[in-house]
Every structure is written in structure tokens, then in C-alpha cells.
Chain A
Amino acid sequence: QITLKESGPTVVKPTQTLTLTCSFSGFSLDASGVSVAWFRQPPGQTLEWLALVYWDDDKPYSPSLKSRLTVTKDSSKNQVVLKMTNMEPVDTGTYYCAYGMSGNWFDPWGQGTLVIVSS
């Protein structure tokens, strides 16, 4: 059974860097074809894809956020870490990580973690 869970701060101040950890079980991020993706969803809005990390360490990022994002994987710890710099109030929302096969479809997802950007 594949499970994922996001963890990190609930509140961050403007200009700060957000660090979120996705802890997973039930699969190896070293296995061919496997990927983990990050998404976010502002309150009442649609889903936005942020980044992917593949088993071979390829890391596509959202072009609109690429300068602010860094994703790293630690296969030995079964974790993927997302860092987003220079947080602004518009970055408020629920952040999800999800398992993806070849970075195409994504399931299952973690439960999500709410991040509020406020001074």
C-alpha cells in the first residue's frame, strides 16, 4: 500500500522560505518510472502543479515558479523535500505531494498541509 504525508509549518512570514517534507512508504523512488510530484491548491481554486522528481533525479519545475523552487529526494529516508523561497500571501493554500507513474497521472496523494503566508 502506497502512502504519502506532507509535513511542515502552517504559518510562514512573507519573504521567508517554505520547506515541506513528503514522507512516503510502499514504493521506492529508485525504481524505474517512479516519480513524486508537488501540487498546491489555494482556497476555493483549482490545483496547480509545482514540480516533479523522477527516479533518475530528473526534476521538471513549473516554469512560472522555477526560480523559487527546489526539490530534493532522499531515497534512503523515503522522503522528498520541497523548498519555495520568497513566500508571499498569494502562496497561501494546501500543498500536496503525490505518487506518479512516469510523471503522468498521480495517485495516491498525501492528505495535504495548509500553508498560510502572513505577517
Chain B
Amino acid sequence: DIQMTQSPSSLSASVGDRVTITCRASQSVSNYLHWYQQKPGKAPKLLISYVSTLQTGVPSRFSGSEPGTPGTDFALTISSLQPEDFATYYCQQSYSIPRTFGQGTKVEIK
């Protein structure tokens, strides 16, 4: 199985802050890396597919990148944190079976 490791596990930030969450794969997943947002008691919502493709309706303050080793190091950035962005974020790989998720990053209000 491909292990997905997110960091940090949680963070506290203020409205307006720039926030970056990283996700590292235990082996290359090429560009088969997707990001989700989950709010308490709700189902996950897809934000970004294939590393950097923003889904329709997702605010442009969200972006995805591959800042380090291609295929293994990924990042989700929120350029200016808004109140509705406080949630847990997950990365997911679809390079191989089983599909696997990171452990999640909880973004809390500072």
C-alpha cells in the first residue's frame, strides 16, 4: 500500500493567514493526487484533483502544487484563510489500489 503522510496533523491560524499543508507519498504517485475538505459531521468535498486542478465552485484562494520531489511531495495552500475554511483536509492517491488517504490536517481558529 502507498502511505500518505500529511503535516502538520493540526494547526491554528487566524483569518487572513496563508496556510500550507503538505502531503508526502511513500512512493511516486505521479500526478494522481487529490485534496478534500471535510467539515464536522459532513461528507468530504473534493477541492483539487490531479495535484492542481481546482474543482468548479472552489474559491481561487485554494491551490495545489508539487513543491518538492516530483510525484511524492505535494502541498495544499490557502492564500487567505476565511472563516468557512476551518475544517479537516485530506490528500488521497489514486495511483494504485488500494486508494489511500493521509491522516488529515485539522485547521483550527487561533
Contacts and interface: CB of A to CB of B under 8 A. Distances in A.
Interface in B39-95: 42-46, 49-50, 55, 90, 92, 94
B49 A105 contact: yes
**Per DSSP, are chain B's interface residues mostly helix, strand or loop, or mixed?**
loop
B88 to A, nearest CB: 9
Interface in A43-76: 46-49, 52, 60, 62-64
B45 A47 contact: no
**For chain B, which range describes its interface: under 10, 10 to 19, 20 to 34, or 35 or more residues?**
20 to 34
Contact of B103 (A46, A52, A60, A96): A46
A49 B43 contact: no
Contacts of A48: 101
A60 B46 contact: no
Top 10 A-B pairs ranked by shortest CB distance? A107-B46, A109-B43, A104-B94, A49-B99, A105-B49, A105-B34, A47-B101, A62-B98, A60-B97, A46-B103
